[in-house]
Structure 1
């Protein structure tokens, strides 16, 4: 390389590295708004009254119980009881992990609730305070003094907080009603359990084996994997196929086939951590524990690290039951063809058990149907609720409208502990469950509130053999959590509960008895499913009430009046119209208010995970602004919500073609030979260049055959095709998956390969991300060997949508986004454009 070219190359690299610093997130920190010390005044708007209150007087009241200054006006307005409740709520201290809090409140899942809260807590009149509230929460969570709601107010980055008091009063009314009604419902169940116990035949329970103890069988674990060809959310993005890993726990010494039970783990757990499965198997059942990779421990940890932007993908509500259906399909084949399995499994008697999200999965297999109409009705910004489980349930509203009948007729019995049900299934969906069903609930469950998620759904069940066990004062964790609480580190103690370990052996024994009766047809075990037996297992700190029947009239009698709406929906819901045939993407977005878009996490600077574990890049900003653009152009009643999906080089076309997303933004070379796919107009230009250690730049020359040169290339990329055609004699080394570019660059730095052929802009971006010394590497040739124009991936049958996307790319708003990320690259783009146009 001559001296002039060398200088040109070094200048270009320096320019690019500087620009990536600007565009990659360092410079934007300089433009963050200057921190405000905190709110000094709160304005409560309760038309026609406005009440002004200093934060200092509020602080005095919370800390000392003294009503001073203008806080006295507010105290008189809401009454003595509410004021004291307010003090307790604002002053309660929580131990939280600031990093997890930051990740949680910035995930798309939390957007609707913060948008709603931002309408209540405004930085000024008619200015949504959602972002200010997020800032205040993160700052308060990092305070050494502990996290309190009062501290959130102190840290609110505005001089005044404008509060819509209507919602405050609404919540203040709702909370005591819920607590009062929950207590009344608990008393109704206690009374029903006493009535049922009185009518049962007398049994000497001391003669019954204690099923809480481990059973007589020793176990052998057999690990099996099945390849499933179906779209699936994984910790590395959406995949077109995936491996389903299953542990089978097999009792030793079986003399005849025994029932099979599938144990579905909860969100953030995994197949190997299932002591419940081992307990049941010890009583002569084969238990299979599949790992649901879209909601496993690995997935949860990937989310916390920032590698996955979605805490829960909507598709997980379908994928989990399908995991078990695919598993049963494979086991059925094994039972028919493999003598080993045939002698073990009684395939006519299969049950499913699950806790939390696993319980929701179990109910789906038992017949509960996803109730799309109910979801549409309940999951709106206007329906603000204290039921936090709706945050997860309402993810299912983004599923395409469909008849999601996931019932498997091979399932003969279901156990569901602490499931999420109210909006996802509703009375209409739960009514479809007709197999024997056991539900277990904790009276003080805050994660899946017992009234909405278990007690009312128990009324909705249509099964002639249904049971509800209420653990009082049980929580969401009472049935399964060990005395070792490492799995829930950071969860406040009041959510876990004081006596969380008392219900675990009870739940294990109860589940065993239930499956003995309904899978092994052991009628002699029916006493275990009696109210009187279960009551006999109560102990200090945990009262057990077991029932087979409950009615709306009993609940209303205990409450003393009609139960609070809308906890038990009465009458049919309004049918949500099905999308019209031939609906365009723009019509769908106008109807739903949702833009579904995908972007990469491995392609600096288009879409990537930065040092702070944020999912960022040009595409992130482009898509956010595009959603705002659609709100304006389509004149939607609410702001168009952007739902981001992770994409990768293998699934980027598939997820657009099958309508999982409306578009995909990333480094996609425009081509005309991809079935079902078209592209937007170009927004960037680059091309193939070779990354080479600086000391080898004279040894590896692109104008030679590259014979005996180890050349890395990303599988399924346009560069792979180019290398195959132009350098058939080179020793090609393929890199696959989401970390392909990262691993290939590392391979060059460690001399495992001689060079890496890739789009120049992506290689430079990865060098920057890995903080490699730029002067140690070179990209050759100076002008890329190919001309790759990047466009957004779009479906090929919607010209109206393509015009809308192209018009935004041409807009001043999009131009500003481009300049913010790529001004540094303008000489590079101009050089490539000149080379491509004039070659």
Structure 2
């Protein structure tokens, strides 16, 4: 089971990176005001106002020693709260100052930080946006890394006043999210147990181990897709299996700020089971776009039109593969682009769901994004960047796509219930219970219940996070090294889960090989599940 404390820590860590945390000392649930000129701030807690100093916090972070009024404050807090406070104070993240600056001067960064600034207001009762931005940028120059304490030291002005009502409201949201996530995990475990009982025993010892590499050899090719109508060109890595008849095609769409190399392992694994696999690079939302943004060459972290252009990239790719299958000796007789499936991660999840029939829901976007943005996840402002687009009727469905796997997708705002209900092909949704980028309950579990397609699977990796490949391609490498906590306790195990389930889904629903169906059961998930990263699969909710 996922623990509330674990989720809170993950939220706090992600908040420190992006400036999303409304309370930098959030573990205690107290509202406070800070006077940085005197390195002092006050905390109203349990009817008493404590005057604390940054020095006292530094001593506590370094040695665990309680001094000054922090010692009195600790008497009213629980040991667990104080231990979590110390962990938060000790945490440091190495993020280049130029990267922090670029993010916080972008539209997305300003939106996020202004929301935080409503909670942390200046002595003149103004939004603390400007002081916080300068403090984050200056603190990022510290050779030892960005931390809560060096941010506190650098906020200009005499003081910061916390909007207590907003802070408490956000804590209630965090608490509610933790509670419903825990409840959801309990419910999913019960549902999986009931399905296992109904299915009956399956002897997987007599079946292939899909976690292992398959028996089929493959060749790697690189092609370039040029869409003259959109004036868009992008590279694609293709793996062609050595099979005697045209192979079904699986396309893998990378996440925001990543590249086509992120899921090379998955691509090669699928190819070893006789599937042709194509890895497109999406310009405008790839690692190159991220680096251009961080170095000041681009003003936007993501171009909002990418929500539309990425699915069109897949359609253009299928068109090009169709042409190559007829005209290029390398591809002739080796692929069947009319029998295709798609896998997408994060924003790539929205990409493949749109290809499956869930178009952008302009009414939902307007409804959700006109409200004040919450700070529960970065997925909200990313999706709401679509507000700058001109609403128009766009059909992104590609009939050649016969089934999709959405890994940690963003979808709640961009697609919504009405659009997801339009999907009629098989869908697998994969979530991580500790995902703080696209929280599982908000972005995967509840939206899964909106699907009305008769064939659907929900897979949850308990203790799993948003990312799978630390240090590979765009997810873990590049200009901003992400902390290990954002990759979960065992990313290699998570990838093995993905490898096996992706083969089972693709063989069953794209290649129409019914003998793989037993692997798409909660019984199989239970059979391969490991304690450090428990796996749940259900066939409906």
Which of 514, 529, 538 lines up with 1:523 in the alignment? 514
How far, CA to CA, are the matches of 2:320 and 2:147 in structure 1? Answer: 51
Which of 261, 266, 271 lines up with 2:250 in the alignment? 261
CA offsets per residue over residues 754-799 of structure 1, 9 Å max, x none? xxxxxxxxxxxxxxxxxxxxxxxxxxxxxxxxxxxxxxxxxxxxxx
Please state how far the C-alpha of 1:406 moved relative to its aligned partner: 1.1
Which of 392, 395, 402 lines up with 1:405 in the alignment? 395
- The answer for the alignment partner of 1:182 in structure 2 is 181
How do 1:121-520 and structure 2 match up within 5 A? 121-231=120-230, 241-252=231-242, 254-273=243-262, 274-335=264-325, 341-380=331-370, 382-478=372-468, 480=469, 487=477, 490-520=481-511
How far, CA to CA, are the matches of 2:277 and 2:73 in structure 1? Answer: 63
> Which stretch has the larger CA shift, 340-349 or 163-172?
340-349
**TM-score normalized by the length of structure 2:** 0.84
CA RMSD of aligned residues (A): 3.0
Please state how far the C-alpha of 1:127 moved relative to its aligned partner: 2.2
Please state how far the C-alpha of 1:134 moved relative to its aligned partner: 0.8
Q: Confirm or deny: 8 A CA contact 1:62 1:87 kept in the other structure.
A: no
How far, CA to CA, are the matches of 1:356 and 1:219 in structure 2? Answer: 28
Q: Confirm or deny: 8 A CA contact 1:116 1:381 kept in the other structure.
A: no
How far, CA to CA, are the matches of 1:352 and 1:60 in structure 2? Answer: 50
CA offsets per residue over residues 341-395 of structure 1, 9 Å max, x none? 4522234311111222222211111112212222222224623231222132121
How far, CA to CA, are the matches of 1:258 and 1:407 in structure 2? Answer: 22
Structure 2 residue matching 1:268: 3-state secondary structure? coil
CA offsets per residue over residues 407-438 of structure 1, 9 Å max, x none? 11111010111111121112222222221011
Please state how far the C-alpha of 1:193 moved relative to its aligned partner: 1.0
- The answer for the alignment partner of 2:93 in structure 1 is 95
Structure 2 residue matching 1:501: 3-state secondary structure? helix
Structure 1 residue matching 2:492: 3-state secondary structure? coil
For structure 2, the 5+ residue unaligned runs are: 1-34
Q: Confirm or deny: 8 A CA contact 2:39 2:55 kept in the other structure.
A: no
- Assess, with a 3 A threshold, how the Cα gap between structure 1 residues 380 and 150 changes in structure 2: closer, same or farther: farther
Please state how far the C-alpha of 1:67 moved relative to its aligned partner: 7.4
How far, CA to CA, are the matches of 1:106 and 1:155 in structure 2? Answer: 18
Structure 2 residue matching 1:502: 3-state secondary structure? helix
How far, CA to CA, are the matches of 1:374 and 1:212 in structure 2? Answer: 39
- Assess, with a 3 A threshold, how the Cα gap between structure 1 residues 86 and 279 changes in structure 2: closer, same or farther: closer
- The answer for the alignment partner of 1:537 in structure 2 is 528
Please state how far the C-alpha of 1:224 moved relative to its aligned partner: 2.1
Structure 2 residue matching 1:118: 3-state secondary structure? helix
Q: Confirm or deny: 8 A CA contact 2:489 2:533 kept in the other structure.
A: no
Please state how far the C-alpha of 1:74 moved relative to its aligned partner: 11
Please state how far the C-alpha of 1:284 moved relative to its aligned partner: 1.1
Please state how far the C-alpha of 1:540 moved relative to its aligned partner: 3.3
CA offsets per residue over residues 561-620 of structure 1, 9 Å max, x none? xxxxxxxxxxxxxxxxxxxxxxxxxxxxxxxxxxxxxxxxxxxxxxxxxxxxxxxxxxxx
Please state how far the C-alpha of 1:170 moved relative to its aligned partner: 1.5
Please state how far the C-alpha of 1:54 moved relative to its aligned partner: 4.7
| Higher relative contact order structure (alpha carbons within 8 Å, sequence separation ≥ 6) | 2
Q: Confirm or deny: 8 A CA contact 2:432 2:461 kept in the other structure.
A: yes
How far, CA to CA, are the matches of 2:168 and 2:204 in structure 1? Answer: 51
- The answer for the alignment partner of 1:234 in structure 2 is none
- Assess, with a 3 A threshold, how the Cα gap between structure 1 residues 74 and 537 changes in structure 2: closer, same or farther: closer
Count the aligned residue pairs. Answer: 500
- The answer for the alignment partner of 1:548 in structure 2 is 539
- The answer for the alignment partner of 1:9 in structure 2 is none
- Assess, with a 3 A threshold, how the Cα gap between structure 1 residues 382 and 411 changes in structure 2: closer, same or farther: same
Please state how far the C-alpha of 1:324 moved relative to its aligned partner: 0.7
**TM-score normalized by the length of structure 1:** 0.55
Q: Confirm or deny: 8 A CA contact 2:289 2:302 kept in the other structure.
A: no
Structure 1 residue matching 2:162: 3-state secondary structure? strand
How far, CA to CA, are the matches of 2:356 and 2:515 in structure 1? Answer: 25
How far, CA to CA, are the matches of 1:250 and 1:98 in structure 2? Answer: 40
Please state how far the C-alpha of 1:210 moved relative to its aligned partner: 1.2
How far, CA to CA, are the matches of 1:133 and 1:284 in structure 2? Answer: 53
How far, CA to CA, are the matches of 1:210 and 1:95 in structure 2? Answer: 39
For structure 1, the 5+ residue unaligned runs are: 1-35, 232-240, 551-839
How do 1:23-34 and structure 2 match up within 5 A? none
How far, CA to CA, are the matches of 1:89 and 1:460 in structure 2? Answer: 39
Structure (1 or 2) with the larger CA radius of gyration: 1
How far, CA to CA, are the matches of 1:257 and 1:143 in structure 2? Answer: 56
How far, CA to CA, are the matches of 1:403 and 1:50 in structure 2? Answer: 57
How far, CA to CA, are the matches of 1:86 and 1:538 in structure 2? Answer: 30
How far, CA to CA, are the matches of 1:209 and 1:186 in structure 2? Answer: 29
- The answer for the alignment partner of 1:833 in structure 2 is none
How far, CA to CA, are the matches of 2:331 and 2:58 in structure 1? Answer: 70
